Chain A
Amino acid sequence: MPEIAVLVKRVPDTNAKIAISGDRVDLSSVKWVMSPYDEFALEAAMMHKESNGGTVTAITLGTPDCDKVLKDAKAIGVDRIVRVWDDSWSDLDSNQVQSALVSALKELSTEVVYCGKSAADTGASSTGPGVAERMGWASVSNIIGIEFEDAGVEVLIPRNIGNARTGVSLPAVISCDKGFCKPRKPNVKGIMMAKRAQVEVLGADIPTSSINIVSHTPPPQKASGQKFEGAGNVPTVVAALRNDANVI
């Protein structure tokens, strides 16, 4: 009966405008959601439990503001919800985040971890493989299909030449793309249970940061382009792409 964990992250809604105030992003007025790929990781974790038994723990890292994504996971049906945090932490780099998560996973005796292929804020895709390396585990990334076996899973991974049907023995970290399952919606009972659920808070010893965030800046603005009315101008644009832009 595997101890299953799913890593979930609170991020700005993907339709949110990101403002810069001073030299940092200003997220004070964005709508927050669970990172989209994490919904597929959560569904895969629930499917794993339904197939092989065990318990599912949803884990996040962050301030009490992040309890909402844990409650969302609880409403879907996870058994435990855990938040890793220490009030002395801020601007954690990948080394610190992974150390903190690994500390929690060890404390929970986790045997398989599901996560989204990347988080919608950093888009880095570092956490899944980084956590696996620190645990000494296998990892597969960007999976687009999964079947559950007695001692492992079989996943589908997109490669240049096609999809690789790949066997993975547990323990392992499995990072999920979207599209292979349909994340379930919470029902009324789940939502009521989630309201009463207690978030377990775990601390961790983490290393010092080796990255200094100098600033956040708006993306470089392109010079305004040329706009033509009517398909008759297509040859003009093709000529410009050839002669001015040099891209065809």
Chain B
Amino acid sequence: MTEIIVIAETKDGIISPVTSELVSAAIVLGGNPTVIVPGVNDTAATSGAAISGVSKVIACVGEQFSNYDAAAWASAIDACAPAGVIICAATQNGKDLGSRLAARRAVSVVQDVVAIDGGVLTSPIYSGKAMQNVSLQGDAVVSIRANTFSPSSDGGNAEISVMNQSADLKTAVREMIAKASERLDVAEADIIISGGRGMQDPANFAHLERVADTLGAAVGASRAAVDAWEDISHGMQVGQTGKTVNPSLYIAVGISGAIQHLAGMRTSKYIVAINKDAEAPIFQHADYGIVATWQDALPILESELKALLG
């Protein structure tokens, strides 16, 4: 049987929760995986071994893992990973690394998988306006979107082996320029509240930020808002030419629901739309639609959430 290898997603030397979802995906695809945990030391490997369903853990250790360098990471991880189907997280770095691992092994890569059923892998194409269903014929690399599989529980006790694997860096970080704002990135958030042109002025995004702070949510924006106002950065844009998101809850405020925007957020688990235009297309995609101006709705939303969540 084909071996399944999961590349653990790590952040600041700690295994990210999505790794447990990748283990679940591996089991659906065909077996208990070997989990490779990259790091400057083997500390994070312990939490990899604790995920139930893992057959073994390989801590891939080297100085190159202090910063993401595509070539060095791919070379070191490839040396640690046995032949088989490799599973990565469909994050920015996970997809990049997966592409390199596939190229290194001269196999194909299937990105952004959102379902696996009977050996058929489903990924959105045309930004989710259609789905592509493929089957693998041999080894491949597969990246899985977050929130696709329930995380495998804790309670595992897999054996850990350590492989020291150094690799030459091809890029050099010269300076880290800290983010101006401490706001959560829409690509990482489990709850997103986004504003569109209906917010009328970029200053009014402060109302969205207050709701976001109550919820621990990220603030996003439509392309129309990003194009219209310099203060609304491209990094906030949700949509086909912005970020594709898959949160548990997406709240669209003053967003009409252009096909471009829908393409970036339609897979959200729950969608709430607040818009004064009862005919806005966004309402066709919302689980809960509220026909109201943001001026009327947001203060009530904020106070209700504060009462509920403190």
> Cα distance A216–B128 when bound, in Å?
11
At the interface, yes or no: A245 with Cβ under 8 Å from chain B? yes
Name the CB-closest residue of B to A95: B108
B166 CB → nearest A CB, Å: 17
Kindly identify which residue among B99, B135, B191, B286 contacts A248, using a CB–CB cutoff of 8 Å. B191
A-contacting residues, B101-158, CB 8 Å: 102-104, 106-112, 120, 122, 124-140
> Cα distance A30–B178 when bound, in Å?
42
Chain B residues contacting A203 (CB-CB under 8 Å) are none
Chain A residues contacting B67 (CB-CB under 8 Å) are 164
B217 CB → nearest A CB, Å: 9
At the interface, yes or no: B30 with Cβ under 8 Å from chain A? no
Would you call B176 and A159 a contact (CB within 8 A)?
yes
> Cα distance A126–B96 when bound, in Å?
7
**Interface size of B in residues (CB-CB distance below 8 Å):** 93
Would you call A216 and B129 a contact (CB within 8 A)?
no
> Cα distance A238–B176 when bound, in Å?
40
Which of B139, B140, B170, B215 has the most chain A CB within a 10 Å cutoff?
B170
Per DSSP, are chain A's interface residues mostly helix, strand or loop, or mixed? mixed
Kindly specify which of B37-45, B196-204, B296-304 makes contact with the partner chain: B296-304
Which of B70, B134, B286, B301 has the most chain A CB within a 10 Å cutoff?
B70
B303 CB → nearest A CB, Å: 9
Chain A residues contacting B287 (CB-CB under 8 Å) are 222, 225-226, 245
Chain A residues contacting B278 (CB-CB under 8 Å) are 227, 229
Would you call B272 and A241 a contact (CB within 8 A)?
yes
B-contacting residues, A176-215, CB 8 Å: 177-179, 207, 209-215
> Cα distance A213–B139 when bound, in Å?
16
- With A98-B103, A130-B99, A235-B304 in contact, is A211–B240 under 8 Å at CB? no
Chain A residues contacting B128 (CB-CB under 8 Å) are 219
A-contacting residues, B72-98, CB 8 Å: 74, 92, 95-98
The 7 closest A-B pairs by CB, nearest first: A138-B170, A231-B296, A133-B103, A231-B292, A227-B289, A130-B103, A18-B129
- 24 pairs across A/B with beta carbons < 8 Å? A15-B259, A15-B260, A25-B130, A120-B241, A130-B99, A132-B70, A139-B100, A141-B70, A163-B179, A169-B170, A179-B234, A210-B138, A212-B134, A213-B134, A219-B266, A225-B287, A225-B288, A227-B283, A228-B288, A230-B296, A231-B296, A234-B290, A238-B308, A241-B272
Interface residues of A (CB under 8 A from B): 12, 14-15, 17-18, 20, 25, 36-37, 93-95, 98-99, 120-134, 137-142, 144, 154, 156, 158-169, 172, 177-179, 207, 209-220, 222, 224-235, 237-238, 240-242, 245, 247-248
Interface residues of B (CB under 8 A from A): 11, 67-68, 70-71, 74, 92, 95-100, 102-104, 106-112, 120, 122, 124-140, 170-179, 185, 188, 191, 215, 234-235, 240-241, 244, 248-249, 258-260, 263, 266-267, 269-272, 278, 283-293, 296-297, 300-301, 304-305, 308-309
